[in-house]
Structure 1
């Protein structure tokens, strides 16, 4: 049922489809897979009641750039369920080989589009990550958290917050679908659990500063692609909460082989997901302890099958965990920033900060979720990791922000350590590459407005490359 095409050349579907049931008004769609190599073909699934439609592709960099257009005859279809492939009409699109690796927003339209449309809406948008066709020689690889996008995607009436299984083959997953979660009082322009909210501003700042980057998804990492292609640094930002066993294993091997990691986010690697046996079609996550009554909060519970920290603490890879931080999900929160623990560290070069100074407070940098490490204060007044939560003893705590009592705190092992967002770094050594963590989801939100955040980001990216 595929429809081979070239951009700008309309080709009708190979079969007429008039499915029974309610019809989709307007237009929406989803890719059959979240990423594709430049030069290869990806199947796009589109439903519309219009007789024809166009797709305009925009690559997201320092700003959106139009990359191409394709048009086809329209075909209607009924919405599906959150846990089953929607099987919408399929159109095959060959990605031009000269498209640079990047995040591409596909804008679906039934009328001519004038000017640059909004990149983020809850319908008529698809996210597609174009990966390089061969090793590119670039040193930075940015991971798009498709698993987390779909965990919060409620298209079809469910998400991983109401069910244990969701399909990736439905609208949404970064853009183009409804999203679970409360509004962000600090940035109401997009929902939190979307590409536009955290990844897009970070990518804009990163590429705008001249950093050359290739892109992939966590599904690519899970399946063992790209990390062995000569990259020095793996970057993640914002909210990269759901990790598969394969992704965790492959990222750990990358670090152990000398690769560096920069995590400009938080609540990272909190839940384990299993990629369904049918490959890219779905995710599974078992959150609740056996026999848990309805209404149980899995974050506050013990014995959750897919809590990473209860079986293999994420601290061992990243140095921090959400269970030693916390979240403030609804409404304005106390304005917190990081208090600098060691201003002589290269991370703070050029910031003008001194030990004991606080940065990011005016912009409420800490939140909406943040990660921490169990720590104690040494005889010199410096915070040091205790190691009891899995944080390596050589992890350097560079900044702390103790959290107020009105935050949401997850279950954790007994410890005397305060709950605190923990900015830190494990330096490169014979046992592996360096790992930096910003320990707050909102780091990207302040990248364009806070000079300290911008300088630290630039220091980390340039040093770890």
Structure 2
């Protein structure tokens, strides 16, 4: 087992950086939480945000060329201008309906703007660039200034072509600058990494294999999201990346429960170390695989400053990427883990494996077979994490761990393993892995929690349009014990801010 530096060594290097940012002292929002999210969710919702008529070109397996698009910003502030680039082939008129996603009395979304009829065109397909980069340079089809009253959240634009009524999405985050209890980070680097649009042009495609894991591929946000490429049939992923697969149930539940939450993109943590410092707790959710070194250092700074972190994610902070701002794109340059720490994909050994390792910030990281499934097994029933659950040592929550997980806990002072168990390739067939869910203390009475699974959100809620995954194991949907554990972590984040 590879061991990491002591927590004090790990965080000490970032303490000076945190001080130099000259940011205001953090306060506790828990006693007087903003009513922003509660007020937003009291507005009338609708389920019309869901795609009702979809089609995929069988020759590409992922595209909807009849109508597809992308946006100019992964995340955007009110007052900034969003451009939407759309292609319709064959040429057709189309509309865009914009929805904010949340709880809304169970409907999951609220209509915030409709474009009216727009004239579509067939936009030019890009020629592959270096590392097979697909960088569309489409003309803007629609643009609008984001209204000041649009609350931070995840937004989709539902594109509908008016010849046959076929539909797809564009997706983006509206962020803000306010103080909040929680910050939800969308894992959109990973959405883009697995985006095979137009056909076999993901970060995993190098022209020779569909699961390349080296530095020979590059992916850009300047292109539509194709339909998700593995595990399940997810029509709602056409144009929306992985959001509806692994993250939406968490958003739906957070807003149902009235938590004060603000939203950001992976790109925001990459660009600005100050982003996490305006919240009590920072949440990494779902499949959060691809991070830059800037993201890693910026989150270290946040921990050193007293921010609580919740890794409600699996396979997080695994691939180290390099950004190219000119083309809104990135490619792999390394692995946040030790040489030989995983059963490596072909070409992974061609990348740099050097510290920092992911377990130095998460508490555990991708290791061993990387993929697999397991039940959540309680190992510390007296821990505050399990208060109110009635769980005893050895009690299980079926199917929670999957399809990628974290193990190999770091030698961080005070780190506790709160759940652990063997992983399997199929029911009753162990694959030699062991997951470890962990909690460790930060330097200012803050905490870092690691759920060690991509599928945590499945146990929180079952929103409209959600498709339950099943591979290696099968999560069983909302579970009151898992919901209580999540409440315990988030309430602890409220209480431990200095």
Q: Shorter-chain TM-score: what band?
A: 0.7 to 0.9
For 2:276 and 2:190, the matched residues in 1 are separated by 24
Query: Does structure 1 conserve the Cα–Cα contact (< 8 Å) formed by 2:268 and 2:275?
Result: no
Q: Deviations over 1:204-248 (max 9, x none)?
A: 111111111111101111011652552111101110000011111
Aligned length, in residue pairs: 385
Determine which of 436, 457, 481 is the counterpart of 1:422: 436
> Could you tell me how far 1:32 is from its partner in structure 2?
1.8
> Where do residues 64-79 of structure 1 align in structure 2 (5 Å cutoff)?
64-71=109-116, 72-79=118-125
> Could you tell me how far 1:312 is from its partner in structure 2?
1.8
> Where do residues 342-421 of structure 1 align in structure 2 (5 Å cutoff)?
342-358=380-396, 360-361=397-398, 364-374=399-409, 390-404=410-424, 419-421=433-435
> Could you tell me how far 1:427 is from its partner in structure 2?
2.2
Q: Which residue of 2 aligns with 1:415?
A: none
Q: Which residue of 2 aligns with 1:150?
A: 192
Instruction: Sort the Cα spacing of 1:271 and 1:426 in 2 relative to 1 into closer, same or farther, 3 A.
Output: same
Q: Which residue of 1 aligns with 2:179?
A: 137
Q: Deviations over 1:299-348 (max 9, x none)?
A: 477744255xx4321111010011157313xxxx6xx3222121111111
Query: Does structure 2 conserve the Cα–Cα contact (< 8 Å) formed by 1:370 and 1:440?
Result: yes
For 1:167 and 1:408, the matched residues in 2 are separated by 37
Q: Which residue of 2 aligns with 1:125?
A: 169
For 1:188 and 1:124, the matched residues in 2 are separated by 9
For 1:212 and 1:206, the matched residues in 2 are separated by 8
Q: Which residue of 2 aligns with 1:282?
A: 329
For 1:205 and 1:167, the matched residues in 2 are separated by 31
Instruction: Sort the Cα spacing of 1:43 and 1:391 in 2 relative to 1 into closer, same or farther, 3 A.
Output: farther
* Structure 1 gaps, min length 5: 1-22, 115-120, 289-296, 375-389, 410-417
Instruction: Sort the Cα spacing of 1:60 and 1:340 in 2 relative to 1 into closer, same or farther, 3 A.
Output: same
> Could you tell me how far 1:423 is from its partner in structure 2?
1.4
Q: Which residue of 2 aligns with 1:320?
A: 364
Instruction: Sort the Cα spacing of 1:393 and 1:451 in 2 relative to 1 into closer, same or farther, 3 A.
Output: same
> Could you tell me how far 1:50 is from its partner in structure 2?
4.1
SS of the aligned residue for 2:392 comes to coil
> Could you tell me how far 1:287 is from its partner in structure 2?
6.4
Determine which of 433, 447, 452 is the counterpart of 1:434: 447
For 1:56 and 1:131, the matched residues in 2 are separated by 19
* Structure 2 gaps, min length 5: 1-62, 207-216, 336-342, 462-477
For 1:322 and 1:311, the matched residues in 2 are separated by 14
SS of the aligned residue for 1:397 comes to strand
1:458 maps onto 2:487 in alignment: yes
Q: Which residue of 2 aligns with 1:194?
A: 242
Query: Does structure 2 conserve the Cα–Cα contact (< 8 Å) formed by 1:325 and 1:420?
Result: no
Instruction: Sort the Cα spacing of 1:211 and 1:340 in 2 relative to 1 into closer, same or farther, 3 A.
Output: same
Q: Which residue of 2 aligns with 1:93?
A: 144
For 2:317 and 2:481, the matched residues in 1 are separated by 26
RMSD, aligned CA = 3.0
For 2:317 and 2:65, the matched residues in 1 are separated by 37
> Where do residues 15-94 of structure 1 align in structure 2 (5 Å cutoff)?
25-48=65-88, 49-62=90-103, 63-71=108-116, 72-80=118-126, 81=128, 83-90=133-140, 91-94=142-145
Give TM-score, length-normalised by structure 2: 0.71
Report which structure shows greater RCO (CA 8 Å, sep ≥6): 2
For 1:127 and 1:276, the matched residues in 2 are separated by 21
> Could you tell me how far 1:112 is from its partner in structure 2?
10
Give TM-score, length-normalised by structure 1: 0.76
1:443 maps onto 2:456 in alignment: yes
> Could you tell me how far 1:26 is from its partner in structure 2?
2.1
For 2:349 and 2:355, the matched residues in 1 are separated by 10
For 1:182 and 1:315, the matched residues in 2 are separated by 26
